[in-house]
Structure 1
């Protein structure tokens, strides 16, 4: 597939960037930013980055796994607890929906503005349920 004419330039860019990095992310191609944080800064979305990264970094990168993995309820006893908690489900769901609504709205605004009215109507239909999460 990468041999197709429409992908040759992208494959060459990938190979060029691959020489200087162990891990390559799409945003690093064509002299793009070196990190997600720098990408967010470039896009003027530093606040969104800080909100999501700061709040979920430990879970995403697995550094929170050992915290709270076991308790000592009494002398000589050990109690293992679950790694993931349901308490975060509502917060994560609402953040995912908020982010999805924002991205979808931006896409429509920039690519198919004539469909934005339909999106707004759908959002208004779902709004009360969304806000009650």
Structure 2
């Protein structure tokens, strides 16, 4: 039986801490290079709302990877799986968005997002049918049944006008009609479902030829997101043969988590540059050659083994 102090795992052995620091510093290089990609893209952007989704999806991806580096440095490895799952989903989104018909797919996202926001804002206006439905749910909630939902009219009205104005723009009206058509077929369509696109993430991954990434990684990491990954890697046998619960901040998978960060980042960086700023592809190749030695070392289980 380990002590409470040992169970929290906050005291990291010097040698382990050194390895974790090395891994984290390498992961740090991914958002650093990714930020250069965003800078290049923005500097040559021709403007227009449809340019934003690709850049903001990449921004989201970089923030997730940056957060993983922070966790690795502090030996908080298991929570990285939830962030990796979201990173992988963002990877699927970006790959699909950057493929054919990039402008239309970006506009599909913006129309979908506007409808999502309108639905949210109406829940806060104090008078719509959606607000009444929300109030009814409050009354049935175990903890909030004696509280009325908040009303934010001073925020809701201008926000509604902003979202509705985008849908009324001539260039977005055909996309909006397609959204409404798709919504008649599926109650809550995803942005990538418009124009008879994939209905869910699994179909999206399959269409983009990432079936194995979905089956092995996405499904596995989804257990961490949903809070059901509570057994594998959480218990072991002690030297006396008795079962024991492993400590929090257990560093054993730090190397594989680091490798996944690189395996997702490198191809999406390359595709983003090829599709949007191809004149920077030599910069990417130069950067890749600088990190290649480390990525090859990651594949060697003996290099960063942490027990």
**What's the TM-score, normalizing by structure 1?**
0.68
Residue by residue over 1:22-69, the C-alpha shift from the partner in whole angstroms, topping out at 9 and shown as x without a partner, is 332121111011122222222222122223223312112333368899
CA contact (8 A) 1:65 1:83 kept: no
**Match of 1:5?**
170
CA contact (8 A) 1:17 1:24 kept: yes
Equivalent in 216, 224, 240 of residue 51 of structure 1: 216
Alpha-carbon shift at residue 106 of structure 1 (Å): 2.1
**Match of 2:184?**
19
* Whole-Å separation in 2 of the counterparts to 1:84 and 1:4: 51
Farther off after superposition, 20-29 or 59-68:
59-68
1:118 and 1:6, CA in 2 relative to 1: closer, same or farther beyond 3 A? same
Residue by residue over 1:56-110, the C-alpha shift from the partner in whole angstroms, topping out at 9 and shown as x without a partner, is 12112333368899xxxxxxxxxx9988866555433431331121112123334
Alpha-carbon shift at residue 13 of structure 1 (Å): 1.6
- Aligned: 1:123 with 2:288: yes
* Whole-Å separation in 2 of the counterparts to 1:106 and 1:99: 11
Farther off after superposition, 6-15 or 90-99:
90-99
- Aligned: 1:61 with 2:237: no
* Whole-Å separation in 2 of the counterparts to 1:94 and 1:103: 15
1:82 and 1:128, CA in 2 relative to 1: closer, same or farther beyond 3 A? same
* Whole-Å separation in 1 of the counterparts to 2:188 and 2:251: 32
1:105-120 matched pairs, under 5 angstroms: 105-120=270-285
> Unaligned 5+ residue runs, structure 2?
1-165, 235-244, 299-307
* Whole-Å separation in 1 of the counterparts to 2:213 and 2:231: 27
Say how many residue pairs are matched. Answer: 127
CA contact (8 A) 1:2 1:11 kept: yes
| Higher helix fraction (1 or 2) | 2
> Unaligned 5+ residue runs, structure 1?
70-79
Q: Secondary structure at the match of 1:5?
A: coil
Higher relative contact order, structure no. (Cα contacts within 8 Å, ≥ 6 residues apart) = 2
1:12 and 1:96, CA in 2 relative to 1: closer, same or farther beyond 3 A? farther
- Aligned: 1:97 with 2:279: no
* Whole-Å separation in 2 of the counterparts to 1:131 and 1:27: 35
